[in-house]
Amino acid sequence: MNKIKIKICVGTTCFIMGGADMFDKLNDDLSEELLTKIDISLSHCLGECSSGAHGLAPYVLVGDTLISAATFEKIEAEIIKQLRG
């Protein structure tokens, strides 16, 4: 099975608005089982804030789904949803 690709945006806005801690947080707090099924990486700016929606940073891509104002809980829920198909 292909692993779900998680891309955490670390453009300056996303980094400051909470993206900075997301990599460690996901690796530390997601269950071992989920971690074997995903591939977490940092991404250059995804360009989502250019419209002025700074309040919706940080952005995280889970597969093809873009999550705004991303939190650990939102990302975890999306991973589980995609694994269930």
Is position 6 an interface residue for other proteins (rule: CB under 8 A)? no
Is position 24 an interface residue for other proteins (rule: CB under 8 A)? yes
Site for other proteins (CB under 8 A): which residue of 5, 18, 35, 37? 18
Give the containing element (helix H, strand E) for 73. Answer: helix 72-84
User: CB 18 → other proteins: shortest distance, Å?
Assistant: 4
Query: In angstroms, rounded to a whole number, what is the distance separating the alpha carbons of residues 74 and 71?
Result: 5
Q: What angle do helix axes 72-84 and 22-29 make, rounded to 10 degrees?
A: 60
Is position 67 an interface residue for other proteins (rule: CB under 8 A)? no
Is position 27 an interface residue for other proteins (rule: CB under 8 A)? no
List 8's β-bridge partners, or say none: 42, 60
Q: Which residues bind other proteins (CB under 8 A)?
A: 10-13, 15-18, 20-21, 24-25, 42, 44-45, 49, 52, 54-55, 69
